Amino acid sequence: MSKQLIIAEKPSVAQDIARALGGFTKEKDYFESDEYVLSSAVGHLLELVVPEEYEVKRGKWTFAHLPVIPPQFALKPIEKTDDRLKLLTRLIKRKDVTGLINACDAGREGELIFNFIAQHAKTDKPVSRLWLQSMTANAIREGFAHLRSAQEVEGLRSAAVCRAESDWLIGINGTRAMTAFNSKTGGFHLTTVGRVQTPTLAIVVEREQKIRLFKPRDYWELEASFGCQAGSYAGRWFDEKFKKAEGDEHATAFRLWDKARAEAIKAKCDGKPGQVSEESKPSTQLSALLFDLTSLQREANGRFGFSARVTLQIAQALYEKHKVLTYPRTDARALPEDYLGTVKDVMRALPDAYAPFASEIAKQGWVKPNKRIFNNAKISDHFAIIPTGTVPKSLSEAEHKIYDLVTRRFLSVFYPAAEYRITTRITRVVDEAFKTEGKVLVNPGWLAVYGKEGVKDDEDGTGGGGGAQLVAVQPNETVSTDDIVVKSLVTKPPARYNEATLLSAMEGAGKMVDDEELRAAMAERGLGTPATRAQIIEGLIAEQYIHREGRELIPSAKAFSLITLLKGLDVSALTSPELTGEWEHKLSQMERGQLSRPEFMREIAEMAREVVERAKRYESDTVPGDFVTLSTPCPRCGGVVKENYKKFACQACDWSAWKIVAGRQFEINEIETLLREGKVGPLMGFRSKMGRLFNAEIKLNDDKQPEFDFGQPKDDGEGAEAVDFSGQEALGPCPKCASPVYEHGMAYVCEKSVGPEKSCDFRSGKVILQQPVEREQMTKLLANGRTDLLKGFVSTRTKRKFSAFLVRGADGKVGFEFEPKAPKAGAKGKAGNGKPADGTDAAPAKAGEEAAPAPAAKKPATRRRSAES
């Protein structure tokens, strides 16, 4: 009997399909029934590579072998998932398998994963496409009843492959060309660039440059207090003849740039009577549109501080694992026009907490055709994120927050507009005008879904609550001017990007667009797609082009150098968000069959050639840029030190220092500290020739040149030098021998662990797994046996951040202790001190090295492992 092979993207989805269709028996890594064989990938199984005959064996980091534009690409199995690829290839080639069903996620990535597998297997068996917007059992069965043909998604397949190949071409050629340029004068300076990530970085750098160049200006405002029969009210002076001048973004009708004029108006109006005129008019405000992924990420970042990546992970779990939300990787904010019945079914099935709102919507008949909500022209392959109607069970706190956000947005969009009465009152005192505004909520409309919170806030900051009921002024009543205050204020620089505002800027290709419907119209020309934007931001952080400080995203010195280089070489394709947004728009056209794959790839190949040629033809080793003059003098002669593209150089003598050391670039404040104090650190993020990350202090040597100081002088063994701790305050008693513990280079050490009479071996790193351990925390560890919860550890294996306490073990060693997790069904076993809960040994790191990564949470008990370094 012939069978169809179903290939899902992940094992969990394969299990859902097996449950929904029924009749399957479980083999080792696949399921089988009378009609189907069912298995899955585990994400990407193959990656693009240059065919062996075209790849350069030596000299890939020189201009001699650039650009790299192979006539075709090859596929290389990803080593860690090779077994799964072999399984799928074997299943594809089974004689009884006569066709394939692509059940990977409904988007570009899912299309790419499946097609790479099919290409690798060299199969010509016919392919059908399962297209799921929801992961409920009914939706899965419905999807199988309406499978799409391969031809229907051919545009999506072409766009997926083009996106992968274009990212490869621009990434490889750009990175090799910029690295070759930066390495011309010696050393190896890896300089990574990307088709989407670098223009995104340019947005952040441009904003930071505006902040640095910003010069604050003093201005004054006048605030008056007026008295009337019914009470008092406040008013602000404004210039009735004000017109916005071009080039002065800070000018408003309320601001005075001359203090003397402000004081003169105060003197002129103080104590004088005023006459009142006012205008009152109704105003309405519609609810925000349904969520797409980017707007959900913005909202979750603004409300809860969730990163874009975390929001996507939660939304994916709510879709895939809990089945309570529809497909999240969407750029649509509308629903299909034939979805009215589905929406009514979903409303009836929502949890009890939302029942009053769902009942009101049903009672009033508010689910009806409405192009703002149901609009086929506003959706492509996916529609807006809404609840599925499946009642959620066992959601984490973060999952509940995202579910609640989506569900309330879903309900609110069917409610009528919120209605306000907006009153504008003008009080004239001796020909000077003062404005007072009041905004009163008359009918909450959709705000009822949010309660008091909704009145104060909504996604776009327009909220609705602002202002208040004004005290009444009788017709022709004269009011008294009881007080006038001159307020002295200063203009502020533009705000730094956070993830919410950067996502908006990416969506609008660098243009900050506040109006959500206009922003939606521009979205096809944005940077990246909703599904990739979080990954792009995380990639910039991982490459240390951007630092995340609180909610702010701050570009590093490395970021400024890269953008300076690209602008100096006039490589506009990698610095222009608008231009790169155009490439994304063309990929969207390709998905709809409006642009051919060869045409797009010709343009990308030409872009890669241009990037290489501009770097290759540039004659100088340095490039012009907006560089700083250090406030700290030359350590050798006291002269002025200026920054250039590659160095910090004295203008009076021959002293200079490279800006990049061991793959890490000095920040301006770090080099200032080094020159002023002779040392700086510990600094994180250096990379050895073998590619290993390490941390170190930097000090000036006898020749006033920077060099590494690992804090490990010859302080033990034969010929050891005595260490003088007399100028330091001890942090606490050694947990092994009770002697005092002091700072020593990159570590906290027992005074008995160094010097010729060494008798103890206690030493703990100042940086463990990229988490700085401050003096205060080490003091707590020595005194109380544990630090506060530290949230910046980074696993060396998975590269993911994790949180842990540092604890003092019974043997005096420092280890990790993890927060207790809720027990899972069937969980057994207990954690032991000094080991992870699963019983595996955790070898302590040596001084100057990082400890092993934290294991995944498996047990409910508090878990510990070694973190000593």
List the catalytic residues.
327
User: How far is residue 414's CA from residue 405's CA, in Å, rounded to a whole number?
Assistant: 15
What does the longest C-alpha to C-alpha distance in the chain come to? 98
User: How far is residue 244's CA from residue 571's CA, in Å, rounded to a whole number?
Assistant: 35
Residue 557 near residue 666 (C-beta atoms within 8 A):
yes
Residue 171 near residue 194 (C-beta atoms within 8 A):
yes
Handedness of CA 385, 389, 390, 392 (dihedral sign): positive
The pairing of strands 647-650 and 641-643 is antiparallel
Write the CA distances from 524 to 169, 311, 380, 585, integer angstroms: 22, 22, 11, 5
Start-to-end C-alpha separation, the chain: 62
Q: What DSSP state is assigned to residue 753?
A: G
What is the token pair recorded at 631? 């406030």
Distance of CA 229 to the CA centre of its chain: 55
Handedness of CA 351, 353, 359, 364 (dihedral sign): negative
Write the CA distances from 164 to 158, 196, 416, integer angstroms: 10, 12, 44
What is the token pair recorded at 659? 């800006």
All residues at 6 or more sequence positions from 703 whose CB lies less than 8 Å from its CB, including other chains = none
Residue 318 near residue 402 (C-beta atoms within 8 A):
yes
What is the token pair recorded at 309? 């990546």
User: How far is residue 67's CA from residue 565's CA, in Å, rounded to a whole number?
Assistant: 18
What 3 state SS string does 783-827 have? HHCECCCEEEEECCCCCCEEEEEEEECCCCCEEEEECCCCCCCCC
Q: Amino acid identity of 144?
A: F
User: How far is residue 760's CA from residue 756's CA, in Å, rounded to a whole number?
Assistant: 12
All residues at 6 or more sequence positions from 832 whose CB lies less than 8 Å from its CB, including other chains = 839, 864
Classify residue 757 as exposed, middle or buried by CB count within 10 Å of its CB (0-12, 13-18, 19+). Answer: exposed
Spell out the alpha helix ranges (H) of 184-255. 197-213
187 φ, ψ to 5°? 80, 180
Classify residue 574 as exposed, middle or buried by CB count within 10 Å of its CB (0-12, 13-18, 19+). Answer: buried
DSSP result, 113-155? HHHHHHHHHT----EEE---S--SHHHHHHHHHTPEEGGGGHH
What is the token pair recorded at 228? 């009337």
Residue 656 near residue 648 (C-beta atoms within 8 A):
yes
Matching residue, tokens 């690992």: 710
Residue 427 near residue 436 (C-beta atoms within 8 A):
yes
